[in-house]
Amino acid sequence: MRDFKELEVWERGHQMALDIFKMTEQFPKHEQFGLISQMRRSSESIPTNIAEGCGRESQKELIRFCSIAMGSASELEYQSLLTKDLKIITDDVYEGAVNELLILKRKLNAFIQYLKTQLPKNLKSQQ
């Protein structure tokens, strides 16, 4: 088990969720149950899955939950593009959000790859 609060990827994911919650406050009210809800769920899923993985007993489970977090980050990347194309956010807001998201995804991928190198040899072949 690890303390998720000590991980940079969790910190970045947490900050991303805070930023998305703040950004979506400005969205049109008719998106309350659409994009607002979807983007908030995707953004909070990233640090939530990292935290849950850290609470599990095995390295393999942590990798699995970090992979789920990566999927949520990809969902959020698309949802951000959609909001830009729908003119809900400006190009500048989109660029800022996606740049941070891409940094998070790169760091999360590096963390997953690192964790895989720490697996016992017999488990590596099952990846």
Q: What is the pLDDT of residues 53-78, one digit of tens each?
A: 999 999 999 999 999 999 999 999 99
- CATH fold group of domain 4-124: de novo design (two linked rop proteins) (1.20.1440)
Residue with more model confidence, 68 or 122: 68
Q: What is the residue extent of each domain of the chain?
A: 4-124
Q: What are phi and psi of 75, to 5 degrees?
A: -60, -45
Helix locations, 25-90, DSSP H: 35-54, 59-85
* % of the chain beyond a pLDDT of 90: 91
pTM, 2 dp? 0.91
| Residue among 116, 23, 28 nearest 67 (CA) | 116
How far apart, in Å, are the Cα atoms of 39 and each of 3, 23, 27, 50, 97?
A: 26, 10, 11, 18, 12
Q: Specify the DSSP class assigned to residue 56.
A: S
Residue with more model confidence, 118 or 80: 80
